Each structure stands twice: as C-alpha cells, then as structure tokens.
A and B are shown apart, each in its own frame.
Chain A
Amino acid sequence: MVDESELIQAAQHGDREAFDELVRRTYVDLFTLAVRLTGNEEDARDVVQDAYLRAWKGIGKFRGDAQLSTWLYRITANCASTHLSRRRRTRTEPLLPGFEPADVRHDTQPEAMTETNLDLAQVAQAVDELPPKLRAVVVLRDVYGLPHEAIAEELGISLSAAKVRLHRARKRLRDAVFEEKRSSRAV
C-alpha cells in the first residue's frame, strides 16, 4: 500500500490516479462528516463532491503542516456551510409534515458506548436535532477536534460567535441526552 505522503506528493505534481486513491481512502470519513453537517445523505453527497473538486484544485497549496484529513475536514465544512446557506436562500417549500430523514447510522460501536456509558445512537440523534448553525460548530469541535479559529474561518463567523454557538450546542445536547436518560429511567 502506497504511503499517504507519497500519494499527496504525486497528486501535487498533477497525478490524478494518486488523487483518486486519496479520495478512495478518505471518502467514507468525509461523507460521514458531511452527513453530520447537512443532516441528510443527498446534500452530503453534493458537499463531498464539491469538497474533493476544491481539494484537487488546491492540492498544490497543501503544505503538510496539518494532516490531510484535517485539511479535508476544513474544506468540507466550508462547502457544507456554503451549500446550506444557498439552500436556505432558495428553499420555498417547507418539508412535508411528518417527514423523517432516513436513519443512516447503523455502525454504532458498542465498545464506545460502554466506555462513556452513553447510548451513541442517542447522542447522534441529539446532534441531528440541533439547529444547523449549532450543529456545525459542535460537530467540528467536539467530534472532529478542529480548533476554534479554523471553525470560525471555515464557517465565516467570528471566533466569539463560534464559542457562543458551541456553548449553546453543548447545553442543548446535555439537556437532550441526560434529561431524556433520566425520564426513560423513571418510566
């Protein structure tokens, strides 16, 4: 298996095959992030495609001081933000009443659930139910570990706005996860 850094170097010299291999290796990861940011698979597919096209155009500028995955996360976050704001501007029809997005989470890991003693499906659902602006910040910070500065830059907001949104998102998640747990225990 060819080393990732060799593939990056080759792609920077215009080798499309090498870039395609990087896409194959990172696709599921980026798709997962895009679903978490957009809340649905169809938008996520478009966002991921845009992100890879941008990455291909900009691979020459990738200096390697961050990991490739972090660089790709930032591009994906930026594409998702653009995609969602464009969709908000053009949307005229509300979603059908009773519409439920398809649950694509079937990989929940039992080990992680035991370690945190939290039901990961419940955490994922609570994240899904956040308003998109809060969801984006908490996903990028608490799930993918991006620095606050990078989040603010990619979402086009100030650093303090990013921190305020994170604060609100965590409070809502705390209420959703722990209050629900308490009420289900009471039943």
Chain B
Amino acid sequence: MRYEDVADLIPGLVDGTVEVDERTRAFIDSDLRCQAELARYRRLLRGLGALRTTYLEPAPGGLAQTLNALAAEGERRVARGILTSRRAVVAGAALGGAAVAGAATAAVIAARSRRRLLAG
C-alpha cells in the first residue's frame, strides 16, 4: 500500500466521516506522510471550529428591522385571526339560517301532506 492509495480518504478520516478496514488503518497509522496529512486536517478543523465564536458585527439597524418585521407579522396574524373568527360567525349564521329555513320548509310540506290526507 502507498500513500497515494489512501490520500483521498484522509479528509474524511480526520473526524470519522469515512471508515476504513483494518489493513488500511494500520498503514495510515504507520505512514509518516499520512500522519502529517492527518495532523494538517486536525489543525484545519480546529481552526474552523474556532470560527464558531468569531462573531461578525451586524450593520446598525439590522436587529431593529427584524424586530419590526416580526411585529408586522404579529399584527397580520391578529388581523387574520379576527377575519377568520368573523368569517366563522358569518358562516355559522348562514348555516343556522339555512337550517331554520330547511326546518320551516319541512314543516310546511308535512302540514300540507297531512291536510291532503285528511281531505282525501
């Protein structure tokens, strides 16, 4: 086995993204070029990890803009809620009206048919 055979595995080996068989592992553990390369990737990963706490300063106004957008969204949500409940009231009233009308029609039909039966 040569360094060139395993070089491509090293960026993934450094944090276990890539797994290798025992023979390859043994070669990597004993090969100085592989070890040097692994050390480079470990340093790179530590450097990248350090960027996590390297904060960038936002331009002034960005936070306020976001809070305003959230406030506007909140208002829209309240408005939508009111609209929905109004719609529910109107729909309920319409359904109620329809039910009453239906019942009245049924009563009239029933009364007529009863009268017809009595007359016959």
Q: Please report A residues at the B interface, Cβ cutoff 8 Å.
A: 16, 19-20, 23-24, 27-29, 31-32, 35-36, 41, 45, 48-49, 52-53, 56-57, 104-109, 112-113, 115-118, 120, 123-124, 127, 138, 142-145, 148, 163, 166-167, 170-171, 173-174, 177-178
Interface contacts beyond A48-B66, A115-B50, A116-B47: sample of 7 additional A-B pairs, CB < 8 Å, sorted by A: A20-B67, A31-B58, A45-B65, A105-B54, A116-B46, A123-B50, A170-B14
Residues of B in contact (CB 8 Å), total 34
Chain B interface, DSSP helix/strand/loop, else mixed: helix
A125 CA to B70 CA in the complex, in Å? 33
| A106 neighbours in B (Cβ, 8 Å) | 57
| A170 neighbours in B (Cβ, 8 Å) | 11-12, 14, 41, 44
| A178 neighbours in B (Cβ, 8 Å) | 40, 44
B51 touching A174 by the CB < 8 A rule? no
B11 touching A124 by the CB < 8 A rule? no
A127 touching B55 by the CB < 8 A rule? no
